[in-house]
Amino acid sequence: MLVAAILMPAGFFLSATGTGRESPNGAVVLLPAGAVVLAAAVVTLAVGLLAG
């Protein structure tokens, strides 16, 4: 969960850096990566709570 909390804001921030930027750069791939990590953390938490 902590990794997603770093990846998603980093994707927003880093994709907007640079002079004269009118479209996001390659760092925008951190957003879906963060979403996948967040989804995996939520599923793991749910399975752990239901199994316990």
Q: What is the pLDDT of residue 21?
A: 85
User: pLDDT tens-digit profile of 1-52?
Assistant: 999 999 999 999 999 998 888 999 999 999 999 999 999 999 999 999 999 8
Among 51, 48, 46, 40, CA closest to 2: 40
- Residue 19's pLDDT is what? 86
CA distance 35 to 37: 5
pLDDT reported for residue 20? 85
Whether 28 contacts 9, CB under 8 Å: no
3-state secondary structure of 16: coil
